[in-house]
């Protein structure tokens, strides 16, 4: 079977979420982090290749995503989808534009669209401007993001600064007018040299229209939410069976740990809720002299407490403290310090018997999966923002929840760790 859908995701949390959405829709979907494994994936209609590229230099991101995309195309993927965050996380030197440029050339696409909207999460685009709830993204907490501060809400401008390809807008009145009007507008715009289209989307029905518009395109880009709208189209076109095989995740016992590297407000709230019933170690990166001693101290703290139940270890900090850490180590150095500490901790905790991990933060998730040398996962069905879970194969599986720092209910940490012990009751 040639895959109907091949996804390249710019971080592991987003890739996991995308796979979980497809699985919840009855689509058999493979999930790997190593493009070399794509050739060995069984006959499935969808494959997700998740890479840790969201905040790395554009040239490096292009090279890594290109390898993943080539692997998917070699398997005969009918359509490629480039998945990025609903908040269009990027900077003027960001890599969304350069990656899209490469994917356009690789697929031979004449044009593509950019649909970051997630109406159910109140991430909407109107007149090309990105909103979080009622706030422009530039007025939201995302303006203080330690790695990708979003200070310009106009996504046409944001993307145009990253690419020489002309960027246009599919405005909401066009979305409401339907497919025929959209297709004429695209034909007119491409005649004027526009090849990239930011898409307005306020309601889920807007995503229905955009999915119908783009389902046969060689290349589409966006947040995971629009992916949920494709399976019904594929079934109607006879591209996939009417129903798919849904294999559940194994029950996993052993120790449970939360590792939090995200500095998002929601992660800080989730840590506070977890601490009502279980201990939390908040590591002070300003006091870290070397990684080895920091990891050793955290392990000494965690081991006796794990006997009574799950614990959380966090490098998450307020924007004020993050600024101080960045002044000492630099923006990139501060991020790498936190990721290295948590990655090394994950490896040591696994060796100490921990088998259930909830990881908060896309970059943190990538670092931890790398340290654990996990290259493929069996993904469970989507249960809501930040609730997708997965497990390794084998006789001694490790259960993982890789969540975006911005997403998930306040009580996610404890409820997810418990659900890993009995996944059938969780879904």
30 domain-assigned: yes
In a domain, 110, yes or no: yes
For helices 58-74 and 96-107, the axis angle rounded to 10 degrees is: 30
Q: Where residue 426 falls among pLDDT bands split at 50, 70, 90? A: low
Burial pattern 63-96, b for ≥16 Cβ within 10 A else e, equals: ebbbbbbebbbebebbbbbbbbbbbbbbbeebbb
Q: How confident is the model over 346-384, as pLDDT tens digits?
A: 999 999 999 999 999 888 888 899 999 999 999 999 878
Q: Which residue has the higher pLDDT, 326 or 297?
A: 297
Q: Where are the beta strands (DSSP E) in 200-290?
A: 219-222, 255-260, 280-282
Lowest-confidence range among 70-79, 99-108, 327-336?
A: 327-336
pLDDT for 104-130, tens place per residue?
999 999 999 999 999 998 999 999 999
| Mean pLDDT over each residue of the chain, to the nearest integer | 92
Phi, psi of 168 (to 5 degrees): -125, -170
Q: Is residue 268 part of a domain?
A: yes
Indicate yes or no: pTM above 0.85: yes
Whether pLDDT at 386 is above 80: no
pLDDT reading at 427 higher than 60: no
Q: For residue 154, give the DSSP letter.
A: B
Put the strands of the sheet holding 135-136 in their side by side order: 123-126, 129-132, 135-136
400: which strand partners? 357, 390
Please report which helix (H) or strand (E) contains residue 148, including its range: none
For the ranges 11-20, 158-167, 243-252, the one whose mean pLDDT is highest: 158-167
Residues 224 and 280 in one domain: no
| CB-based burial label for 287 (10 Å; 0-12, 13-18, 19+) | exposed
Q: Give me the pLDDT at residue 246, please.
A: 60
Residue 366 inside a domain? The answer is yes
Task: State yes or no: pLDDT of 425 exceeds 60.
Answer: no
Residue that terminates a domain, selected from 236, 268, 289: 236
Query: Does 152 lie in the same domain as 44?
Result: yes
* 311-333 pLDDT per residue, tens: 999 988 777 777 887 878 787 78
Q: What is the pLDDT of residue 201?
A: 98
pLDDT band for 204, please (50, 70, 90 cuts): very high
* DSSP bridge partners of 222: 83, 115
Where among 208, 236, 264 does a domain terminate? 236
User: Does residue 171 form part of some domain?
Assistant: yes
Regarding whether 262 and 206 lie in a shared domain, the answer is no
Task: Looking at the structure, tell me whether residues 145 and 281 fall in a common domain.
Answer: no
211 within domain boundaries: yes
Find the mean pLDDT for residues 125-142.
Answer: 93
Does residue 203 form part of some domain?
Answer: yes
Whether residues 216 and 260 share a domain: the answer is no
DSSP states of 243-260: S---PPPPP--SEEEEEE
Q: Are residues 45 and 145 in the same domain?
A: yes
Residues 379, 150: Cα–Cα separation, whole Å = 31
User: Looking at per-residue confidence, does 107 or 86 come out higher?
Assistant: 107
The answer, yes or no, to whether residue 89 has pLDDT greater than 90, is no
Distance CA 351, CA 355 (A): 9
Q: Are residues 270 and 230 in the same domain?
A: no
| Domain of residue 38, CATH code | 3.40.50.10840
Give the model's pLDDT for residue 87: 82
Query: Are 304 and 358 found together in one domain?
Result: yes
Are 25 and 163 contained in the same domain? yes
As a whole number, mean pLDDT of residues 195-211 equals: 98
CA-CA-CA-CA dihedral for 105, 6, 370, 42, to nearest 10: -130
pLDDT average, residue stretch 139-152:
82
Q: Does residue 211 share a domain with residue 77?
A: yes
Final residue belonging to a domain, choices 180, 208, 236:
236
Please tell me the predicted confidence (pLDDT) of residue 141.
83
Residues 283 and 324 in one domain: yes
Please check whether residue 268 is in contact with residue 406, taking contact to mean a CB–CB distance below 8 angstroms: no
Cα separation, 264 vs 385, in Å, equals: 15
Q: What is the pLDDT of residue 247?
A: 66
pLDDT above 90 (res 241): no
Compute CA 248 distance to the chain's CA centroid, rounded to the nearest angstrom: 22
Structural domain tally of the chain? Answer: 2
pLDDT band at residue 9 under the 50/70/90 scheme: very high
Residue range 30-59, pLDDT digits in tens: 999 999 999 999 899 999 999 989 888 999
Q: Are residues 195 and 276 in the same domain?
A: no
The three-state secondary structure class of 132 is strand
**Which residues lie across from 7 on neighbouring strands?**
48, 81
362's tokens: 């896309």
Looking at the domain assignment, is residue 243 inside a domain? no
- Higher local confidence (pLDDT), 407 or 172: 172
Residue 399 falls in which region: left (phi positive, over 0), alpha (psi -120 to 50) or beta: beta
Q: What is the mean pLDDT of residues 91-116?
A: 95
Range of the domain at 346: 255-426
Q: What is the CATH number of the domain that holds 353?
A: 3.40.980.20
């Amino acid at each position: 079977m040639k895959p109907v859908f091949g996804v390249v995701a710019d971080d592991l949390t987003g890739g996991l979420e995308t796979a979980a959405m497809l699985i919840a829709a009855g689509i058999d979907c493979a999930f790997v982090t190593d493009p070399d494994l794509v050739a060995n994936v069984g006959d499935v209609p969808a494959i997700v290749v998740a890479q840790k590229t969201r905040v790395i230099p554009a040239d490096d991101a292009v090279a890594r995503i290109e390898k993943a995309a080539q692997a998917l195309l070699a398997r005969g993927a009918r359509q490629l989808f480039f998945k990025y965050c609903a908040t269009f996380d990027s900077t003027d030197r960001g890599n969304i534009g350069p990656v899209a440029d490469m994917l356009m050339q690789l697929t031979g696409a004449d044009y593509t669209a950019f649909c970051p909207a997630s109406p159910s999460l109140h991430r909407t685009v109107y007149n090309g401007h990105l909103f979080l709830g009622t706030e422009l993204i530039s007025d939201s907490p995302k303006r203080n993001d330690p790695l990708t501060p979003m200070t310009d809400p106009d996504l046409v401008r944001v993307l145009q600064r990253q690419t020489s390809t002309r960027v246009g807008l599919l405005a909401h009145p066009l979305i409401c007018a339907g497919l025929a009007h959209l297709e004429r507008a695209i034909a007119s715009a491409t005649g004027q040299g526009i090849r990239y289209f930011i898409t307005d989307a306020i309601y889920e029905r807007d995503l229905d229209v955009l999915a119908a518009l783009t389902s046969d395109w060689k290349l589409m880009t966006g947040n995971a939410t629009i992916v949920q709208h494709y399976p019904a189209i594929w079934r109607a076109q006879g591209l996939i069976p009417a129903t798919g095989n849904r294999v559940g995740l194994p029950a996993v016992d052993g120790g449970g740990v939360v590792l939090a590297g995200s500095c998002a407000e929601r992660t800080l709230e989730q840590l506070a809720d977890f601490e009502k019933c279980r201990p939390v170690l908040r590591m002070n990166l300003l006091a870290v002299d070397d990684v080895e001693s920091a990891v050793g101290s955290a392990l000494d703290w965690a081991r006796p407490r794990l006997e009574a139940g799950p614990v959380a270890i966090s490098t998450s900090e307020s924007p004020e403290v993050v600024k101080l850490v960045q002044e000492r180590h630099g923006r990139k150095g501060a991020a790498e310090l936190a990721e290295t500490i948590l990655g090394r901790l994950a490896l040591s905790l696994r060796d100490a018997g921990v088998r259930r991990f909830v990881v908060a933060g896309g970059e943190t998730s990538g670092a931890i999966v790398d340290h654990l040398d996990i290259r493929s996962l069996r993904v469970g069905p989507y249960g809501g923002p930040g609730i997708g879970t997965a497990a390794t194969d084998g006789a001694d599986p490790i259960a993982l929840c890789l969540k975006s720092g911005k997403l998930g209910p306040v009580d996610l940490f404890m409820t997810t760790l418990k659900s890993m012990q009995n996944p059938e009751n969780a879904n």
